[in-house]
Structures are given as C-alpha cells and as structure tokens.
Amino acid sequence: MPTVSAAFAPLRNWLMAPSWLIVGFFLVLPVLLMLVYSFLTKEFRGGVIWEPTLAAYDQFLFDRGLFGDAPPRLQWAYIQIFFRSITQAAGATFFCLIIGFPTAYFIATRADNAKVVWLFLVTVPYWVNLLIRTVSMKFLIRDNGPLNEGLTALGLIDAPVQLINTNVAVQLGLFYSYLPFMVLPIYAAVERYNFALSEAASDLYAPKWIILRRILIPVVMPGIVAGCILVFVPSLGAFLAPDLLGGAKTFMIGSLIDEQFKGNAGNWPFGAAAAMILLLLVLIVLTLYARSQSRSKV
C-alpha cells in the first residue's frame, strides 16, 4: 500500500480539494454568515442593518418585560425552550436506543439473505418524505383515528385517549422519524462483532446479562454512540413533529428560529443568535464525547 499512496502524494492536495470545497462552501461559509448576522442590528420587518450590536444575545439572556423597559432580569423563556427541546431530543434518543438496539442485534444475527430483507424493511418507510410520514402519523393517532378506534373496538378503552397535540405524540413522531439512524449504525457494529467472544465468555460460565454488559455493549459502543448522535442532533432542531403532532402550542428551538425568519417577528439577528447558541451546545456535547473517546483509547 505505501507505494500506491506514494504515487498519489503529489496529487494529494488536488484530491482533497472536493472535500475542502464542500466543507468550506456548505459548512464554514453558512456558519460564518450566521455568526456575522447574529451581531448585526435588526431591521423592522426582517432584514438587517449593518451596524454591530449585541442586542440579539442580550435578548436571549435578559428579560425586559412586555414593554422592553423594565429592569433586566435573567430571561427564562428561551432557556425553557432549549430545555424543552433537549428533553424531547433526549427522550427520542432513549426510546430509539431501547427499541433500536434489540432490532439491530436481531437483524445482525440473521442469515445473510434474511438480513438484506430485514434491512430493506427498516428503510422502506424512509423512501417517503418526512412531512408525509409525520402527517400520516397524525391520521393514525387522532381521537377518531384507527389506533383509538381499534382500542375502543377491542374494549381496552372506553373513550379515545388524547394523543394528538400532546408531548407523547411529539415523542412518537421523533422516534418514528429517526429510528433507522439508530438501527443502522448499531447493526453495522454488531455485524462486525466476533461472536466467538460471547461463546468464550459463556464457556467461562458468564451469565447472559454479563456477556451483554461487559462484552457486547463495550465492543459495539462506537455504533451506539454514533446512533445516539445521529438521532439526538436532528431531533434537537426538529420542528415538523412538534408543529404537526404537538399542535405548535409551544416553541421548540427549531420553530423559534423558523419564526424569526419566516414569521411576523422578522428578527433575523435573533434567529441567527439562537442558531449559533444551539450550534455551540451541540459542539460542546460532541467535543466532550470526542475527549472521552480519545482518553479511553489511551
């Protein structure tokens, strides 16, 4: 192999160019743009005035009352919105993991041709647009929808269970939206797992629980972590499920930011600032994770 890579060495920079272009154009440039906008002055009814100010961050941190002239107090509103979104995302990640891990394990331990079928079945619903899937979820769980009518017909409940426009519905929507993002990485990890390790442990009289906890889970941990990140991060910014299934009664981070650009408020710098703070939070979590990973390897 070294001879091949040596042959490519002079071309290295050129071969890297597409990656740099993509990272620069689709990642660095938009984020820098948001960063700059978050420090600009809000223009009435959308847009910005090119005068630097900290007003957007000030609005995020301090509450000056309904009329904007009360003495500043710590602003809980946005912290609440962030906390609500983080809780929802954590819940979705938890449920995806609980269901996704056994599913992935099940698929990975089937015969090769059956694996293909199971994986296919997991991904089929995701060929349909997310919006349509979320709307159809709404049809399923509404008061006179098939779920409630089925349960009533079976005599399990007397009156419809209110699901639509509740947090349970939002959880369900997020769970359904992102489940494959949990199943697939874990599947990939379990597939590479050497089952001889389990057999060896079993020969040494390790009970099943210990094999799972001390051998299987640590070995497939990178897959679990990757799945958790892939579910948590998009759930955090999601606004389709909260809006359609939760009734849009309260802002999530995603809908709060959306409202600043599309809604009546038209406060672009504040939307940009909220997006930057969200980005910062995600980066902190990912950095902490990367740290703990590199430490455990050393």
Q: Which of 213, 229, 228, 224 is nearest to 186 (CA)?
A: 224
Q: Determine if 103 is a binding residue for another protein (CB under 8 A).
A: no
Whole-number Cα distances in Å, 107 to 34, 88, 134, 219, 273:
42, 28, 26, 17, 43
One residue of 77, 121, 153, 280 binding another protein per CB under 8 A: 77
Contacts of 281 (CB under 8 A, 6+ apart): 82, 86
Q: Which CA distances in Å does 147 have to 101, 134, 141, 174, 197?
A: 26, 15, 6, 18, 43
Q: Which is nearer to another protein, 143 or 191 (CB)?
A: 143
Q: Which is nearer to another protein, 224 or 252 (CB)?
A: 252
Determine, following the binding rule CB under 8 A, whether residue 165 of this chain makes contact with another protein. yes
List 52, 68, 71, 155, residue binding another protein (CB under 8 A)? 68
Task: Supply φ then ψ for residue 40, to 5 degrees.
Answer: -100, 170
Size of residue set near another protein by CB under 8 A: 29
Instruction: Please select the residue that binds another protein; options are 7, 10, 19, 45, rule is CB under 8 A.
Output: 45
In angstroms, what is the minimal distance from the CB of 85 to another protein? 12
The dihedral of CA 113, 118, 122, 126: what is its sign? positive
Q: Which of 2, 18, 44, 203 binds another protein (CB under 8 A)?
A: 44
Chain Cα centroid distance, residue 160 = 31
Q: Interface with another protein includes 130 (CB under 8 A)?
A: no
142 binds another protein (CB under 8 A): yes
Given 115, 222, 250, 282, the residue binding another protein (CB under 8 A): 250
What is the amino acid identity at position 199? E
Q: In 3D, which of 264, 269, 105 has the Cα closest to residue 187? A: 105
- Residue 247 found at the interface with another protein (CB under 8 A): yes
Provide the minimum distance between the beta carbon of 251 and another protein in the complex, in angstroms, as a whole number.
Answer: 5
Is residue 167 near another protein by the rule CB under 8 A?
Answer: no
Contact 268, 47 (CB under 8 A): yes
- Interaction pattern, residues 47-66, with another protein; x per rule: CB under 8 A: x------------------x
Q: Which residues are at the interface with another protein (CB under 8 A)? A: 44-47, 66-68, 77-78, 80-81, 142-144, 164-165, 244, 247-251, 261-267
